[in-house]
Amino acid sequence: MELCLYHPQYGYYMQDRPRTGREGDYFTSSDLHPIFARLVARQAAEMWEILERPSRFTWVEMGAGRGLFAVDFLRWAERARPDFSAALEYLMVEPGPRTRARVLEHVAKENLATRPRALASLEELEPAAGCFFSNELVDAFPVSVVTRDAGRLKEVYVAAEGDSLREKLGPLSDPSVAAAVARYANQLEEGHRAEVNRRATQWISTVAGKLAQGFVLTIDYGDLAGFLYTSDRPRGTLLAYGGHTASEDFYSAPGERDLTAHVNFSALIDAGEPAGLNAIGFTTQERFLMALGEANEFADLYETGQTEAEKLQARLKLKRLLFPGGSEGGHGMGTTFKVLVQSRNLRSPQLTGLKFARG
């Protein structure tokens, strides 16, 4: 999975090719409508106020993709909150040099007041006050796949056999894999599979070390462990995406398809705590966006001078962002996608986006 996604030349995320939108393999919330970034920007402005309006508020978008979110976010801030816009430092983290160049070129065409910078990794960043944001990032970290075979935990490895790849069971690659299964998936049944995302817990610790004060906002599909590792997912959640179609055909086109697994948000919460991150809210994308749009009845949805037909199309796209979906490739994203907010060096911050979060 590491090679298929992040090989410097052939990795899926390192190639200069469309990944999202109609020409790509899947849609993100930013592909659907600018309302997604505008509402998140509203939340960001409130975060800035909670931090007592510092002269510099660093927004770090990890996994900037085509730059759609950045443009919509910054344009809203300029128009609706020029005071917040003046304090913004916008950083985009993208590992692929070609992707970084393309996203900077796209953003530069928009003539925005705030000019984002692009970094290859979090290691290039000095600790900052603000918010670290990701949307559909953690699901693309490489995972270990485990199964219970003859009563014992085994790991699923990939072996080369001639010109093809096949699966092979073997001992667990690391003691932390066994520890994660014991903590989150100890009811794993015979023959069933589950994923362990060690990279995710390493990542959240790195993020915590780069956040002097502020928030971590993580949006992705997945759930808390108790709802993720269940008997109704005997094959786990690992999927391959190509041409907007999901399958379990992981091995036929390495580097040509996206590989993803549901995020165990319990692991992000647990790994964040010793690193200084306090989980202040966990909710669905539906409830998060509803809370942020409620105050002005989603007025951010419309552009000046739109026709009634264009407004209708905008409302249909908002519906897809809010309404439940049966899978991450389904017609709705509202409940499939979850929102985790963590804070550092703040006392019980109250965020509007968490207004409808269940306790």
Beta pairing, strands 258-260 & 239-242: antiparallel
The pLDDT value recorded for residue 329 is 42
What tokens were used for 55?
């002269």
What tokens were used for 24?
């790509």
Percent of the chain whose pLDDT exceeds 70: 94
The pLDDT value recorded for residue 14 is 84
141-185 confidence digits (pLDDT tens) = 999 999 999 999 999 999 999 989 999 999 999 999 999 999 999
- Alpha-helical (H) ranges within 9-116 are 29-32, 35-50, 68-80, 82-87, 97-108
- Alpha-helical (H) ranges within the chain are 2-6, 29-32, 35-50, 68-80, 82-87, 97-108, 175-184, 198-210, 225-228, 265-272, 285-293, 308-322
- Taking phi over 0 as left and psi of -120 to 50 as alpha, with beta for the rest, 226 belongs to alpha
**What is the spatial distance between Cα 184 and Cα 267, in angstroms, rounded to a whole number?**
8
45-61 confidence digits (pLDDT tens) = 999 999 999 999 999 99
**What is the spatial distance between Cα 265 and Cα 352, in angstroms, rounded to a whole number?**
21
User: pLDDT confidence of 25, banded at 50, 70, 90?
Assistant: low
- Comparison of pLDDT for 133 and 98, the residue scoring more: 133
Q: Which residues pair with 93 in a beta bridge?
A: 62, 119
Taking the domains of the chain in order of start, what are their residue ranges?
2-141+197-230+260-354
Average per-residue pLDDT for the chain? 90
**What is the spatial distance between Cα 289 and Cα 303, in angstroms, rounded to a whole number?**
19
The pLDDT value recorded for residue 182 is 96
Decide: 322 and 356 in contact? Cβ < 8 Å.
no
For 266-307, the DSSP string reads HHHHHHHGGGT-EEEEEEEHHHHHHHHHTTTTTGGG--TT--
For 2-141+197-230+260-354, which CATH class?
alpha beta
- Of 160-169, 306-315, 335-344, the poorest mean pLDDT is in 306-315
Decide: 222 and 263 in contact? Cβ < 8 Å.
yes
Q: Running DSSP on this structure, what letter comes out for residue 81?
A: -
